[in-house]
């Protein structure tokens, strides 16, 4: 819990204080992520003594797609994160859970019912429904701001950024 709170706090501090350099910060984080991933793969290749793609244990094309999706998710979060109150950030990040469950159930591959649910019990699904309900209740004021033609521009921009932040859950869930 402490590491999660620290990560969320530092993320909010970064996007709030980066100002016009938010895009640069997102690109720098993506470059750092790619460097760490590349070094990890290189260490694994050295440990196995083979630099063949099959020797690494996972397809490099899948790793590339995952990196692109994670970078897209990061860009959407960083671009919209500075306009979102911190309380919303904590709630909206949790939307990754139900989106991941929904997408994994869309691509069922198992033969038994437990394999088709990817090991999700009814309590997992109930928890995902609770998170979805909480996020929808949190989004309701943003929906009202967007629908109201008399709302100030600042409130409208904040509401749009909330929806952009929620949309960032899609690439995150796909890459999972």
What number is the average pLDDT over the span 1-30? 75
H helices of the chain, in order, are: 2-18, 22-48, 60-81, 86-93, 96-106, 113-116, 122-147, 153-167, 169-175
CA proximity to 10, closest of 89, 101, 114, 103: 89
CB-based burial label for 26 (10 Å; 0-12, 13-18, 19+): buried
Express each pLDDT in 51-108 by its tens digit: 665 545 667 677 778 878 888 888 888 888 878 887 788 888 889 899 988 888 777 6
Tell me if residue 119 falls in helix, strand or coil.
coil
């Amino acid at each position: 819990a402490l590491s999660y709170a620290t990560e969320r706090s530092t993320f909010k501090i970064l996007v709030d204080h980066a100002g016009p350099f938010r895009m640069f910060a997102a690109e720098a984080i993506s470059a750092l992520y790619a460097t760490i991933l590349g070094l990890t793969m290189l260490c694994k290749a050295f440990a196995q003594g083979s630099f063949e793609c099959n020797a690494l244990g996972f397809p490099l094309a899948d790793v590339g797609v995952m990196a692109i999706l994670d970078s897209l998710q990061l860009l959407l979060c960083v671009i919209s994160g500075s306009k979102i109150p911190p309380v919303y950030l904590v709630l909206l990040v949790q939307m990754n859970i139900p989106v991941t469950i929904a997408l994994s159930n869309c691509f069922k591959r198992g033969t038994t019912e437990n394999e088709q649910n990817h090991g999700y019990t009814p309590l997992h699904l109930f928890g995902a429904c609770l998170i979805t309900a909480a996020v929808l209740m949190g989004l309701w004021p943003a929906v009202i701001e967007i629908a109201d033609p008399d709302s100030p521009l600042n409130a409208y921009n904040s509401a749009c950024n909330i929806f952009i932040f929620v949309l960032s859950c899609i690439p995150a869930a796909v890459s999972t």
